[in-house]
Structure 1
Amino acid sequence: MAAGDFYEALGVPRTASQEEIQRAYRRLARAYHPDVNKDPGAEDRFKEVSEAYEVLSDPATRRRYDAFGPGFRQVPEDVDPAAYARARAGAAPGRARGPGGEEIRFGAGEGFEGIDLEDLLGGVFGGRGGADRARRRWGPVPGGDQEAELPLTVEEAYRGGRRAITLPGRGGTRRFEVNIPAGVTDGQRVRLAGQGGTGSGGAPPGDLYLVVRISPHPRYRVEGRDIHVDLPLAPWEAALGATVAVETPGGETKVRVPPGTSSGRRLRLRGQGMPNPRGTPGDVLAEARIVVPRAPTDAERRLFEQLASVSEFDPRGVPRRRP
């Protein structure tokens, strides 16, 4: 992969829509997040993917990246992208305008890679202190808000609590201690004030928003605040009724199975789902799944054969009538 090619980092074409970029990032971030992928190199790949998404997910930043390439951060905001893009492509010498309308000339084939910001602004505002004078002229610029995904298991989302996370940054990885509210739902955002983009000229930094993504679970399926779980039942438990244990993220609880329960019936445990600090918690919906012995004993087989000989029940149609 070409160094600094953010489109290749996400595996999308340069014509990709914002939705395609977001889907690609979510897929790769889940695959390479250091908390779930312990392979060597996974953390570096996660940093690469996150930096690419940080740039390409913002339309304005993406336009500057498309125009100026990997060195776009060193380019003053008011430099004309079209003029400089022609110069980067090796066209005839071009011109661009600085922040005050000052003309900046470029030689053929010159680009922003490796350019010295002090030299560039010094040429516009005079001397090696030109960059400082430029910043004073533009005034303070607040830092932008940023987003990153926060993958959680169902149990972590249910319990909440403090958690250490690692995120990539331009100066290396950043570690945070995050207070996760109990009962966060998929797509909910956790705000870290002042941890976003850096402001300039003394302006405050932006905020960092962690978007919760609840990872697939082998037992639970989460829909909003409701938690769905399969409830295996023996044929006699389903037919005669029983009180059985069911595992939930909050621990084991009991559910009463009414007589005559068939597979697919949902038994609701009210208030046992995701907590809700501001209102009613969700429910646990235990879905009956009738399970038969894979290798019945001789005694079990005789009892099933006896049941088959006397029962008039036909699950595929009308009850059987015996002579």
Structure 2
Amino acid sequence: MSDDPYDVLGVAKTASADEIKKAYRKIAKESHPDLHPGDAAAEARFKAAGTAFDLLKDPETRARFDRGEIDASGQERPRERPFYRDFAEQPGNPYRQGPRYEGFGDDADIFAEFLRRQARQGGAEFGDHGFRARGADAHYALEVPFLEAANGGAMRITLPGGGDLEVKIPKGVADGQTLRLRGKGGPGHGGGPPGDAYVTLSVRPHPVFAREGDDIVMTLPITIDEAVLGAKVEAPTISGPVKVTVPRGASSGQVLRLRGRGIAASGRAAGDQRIELKIVLPKTVDADLARFMEDWRKTHRYDPRKGGGA
């Protein structure tokens, strides 16, 4: 497998940031260790995609890689020694810098300062007691049941190296949303702080509910007599069943609205639940129902396709 981050993610070098993110999410979902326990190849693809995304998601780091200044792991590439340094070190050169170039004096101070600046840009620094660096960020994918995404909750991720990580799911998270867990990434070096963990969520479809913005939509079957006469029936919501009133003379496709029964994400007003009614006939039309409808039709015929009424 190529270690080139563009090849790992399967994108062109001209790919946009959104294209890179989309490619990473796809690989993370397909190759996550939770979905392929014991599959070393899938785990390797998952880790490689995370490393590639770490490098390309930051515009500055990506630009440095494109210029050849760092390699696919983010490490500095060795640079050629400038020809004038070789010339300066020739024994007969009257401008030879002598021992200062070997690590003493002003040149050493300038070089040390250069390293400090480079290290700060990469999240590391050189202190009085050695190298200190922030830990690497970690990237995970997590499938969340529909109701947990709507109402919030907590789940655990099994880590590739063993152990697990608790992820608190806020109310109203959306499919594709990424949560940042501060300090839950890789350990720091030399006493540096740990990295962060980024968890990309995919919301599992629900057999009854669907989400449109902050509204919950569903279809509610009703009987022919409930439609004609009206009724109070039980309808499910994301927070439990409630009683709703089916109006007298209801039709299939008619929508009932339950205010405030939709997604209640933090910082936003709660959405609504929209219930579309669907008249469902009994599996078997018996003789009594057929006879009643025949008699009724003789005096109450109407054609809804022409907008007429009884």
Q: TM-score range by the shorter chain?
A: 0.5 to 0.7
Listed as ranges, the matches of 1:20-39 within 5 Å are 20-35=19-34
SS at match of 1:248: coil
Aligned residues: 273
Q: Contact conserved, 2:21 with 2:57, CA < 8 A, in 1? A: yes
SS at match of 1:50: helix
> Structure 1 residues 64 and 303 mapped into 2: Cα distance closer, same or farther (>3 Å)?
farther
Aligned residue number for residue 6 of structure 2: 7
Listed as ranges, the matches of 1:211-226 within 5 Å are 211-226=200-215
User: Which residue identity lines up with residue 273 of structure 2 in the other structure?
Assistant: V
Within the candidate set 150, 157, 161, 2:153 is matched to 161
Deviation, 1:145, is: 6.3
Gaps of 5+ in 2: 87-101, 105-111, 120-124, 126-131
Deviation, 1:72, is: 3.3
Listed as ranges, the matches of 1:184-223 within 5 Å are 184-186=173-175, 190-196=179-185, 202-223=191-212
Question: Aligned pair 1:73/2:73, yes or no?
Answer: yes
Question: Aligned pair 1:231/2:230, yes or no?
Answer: no
Residue by residue, what CA displacement relative to the aligned partner does 1:118-169 show, whole Å, maximum 9, x if unpaired? Answer: xxxxxx979xxxxxx786674366567666554322111134222111456x
SS at match of 2:304: coil
Deviation, 1:265, is: 2.4
In the aligned structure 2, how far is the partner of 1:317 from the partner of 1:235?
22
Residue by residue, what CA displacement relative to the aligned partner does 1:56-107 show, whole Å, maximum 9, x if unpaired? Answer: 333333344445599433632xx5xxxx7xxxxxxxxx8378xxxx979xxx
Aligned residue number for residue 95 of structure 1: 80
Q: Contact conserved, 2:253 with 2:277, CA < 8 A, in 1? A: yes
Deviation, 1:228, is: 1.2
> Structure 1 residues 264 and 36 mapped into 2: Cα distance closer, same or farther (>3 Å)?
farther
Q: TM-score, normalised by structure 1?
A: 0.65
Q: Contact conserved, 2:3 with 2:72, CA < 8 A, in 1? A: no
Q: Contact conserved, 1:160 with 1:182, CA < 8 A, in 2? A: yes
User: Which residue identity lines up with residue 60 of structure 2 in the other structure?
Assistant: A
In the aligned structure 2, how far is the partner of 1:284 from the partner of 1:214?
18
Q: Contact conserved, 1:4 with 1:70, CA < 8 A, in 2? A: no
Q: Contact conserved, 1:7 with 1:13, CA < 8 A, in 2? A: yes
Moved more, 17-26 or 65-74: 65-74
Listed as ranges, the matches of 1:61-140 within 5 Å are 61-66=61-66, 68=68, 71-73=71-73, 75-76=75-76, 95=80, 138=119, 139=125
Gaps of 5+ in 1: 85-93, 105-123, 127-132
Aligned residue number for residue 120 of structure 1: none
User: Which residue identity lines up with residue 95 of structure 1 in the other structure?
Assistant: E
Q: How large is the RMSD of aligned CA atoms in angstroms?
A: 4.0
Deviation, 1:249, is: 2.7
Q: TM-score, normalised by structure 2?
A: 0.68
Residue by residue, what CA displacement relative to the aligned partner does 1:33-58 show, whole Å, maximum 9, x if unpaired? Answer: 45566795655544444333333333
Larger radius of gyration: 2
> Structure 1 residues 293 and 16 mapped into 2: Cα distance closer, same or farther (>3 Å)?
farther
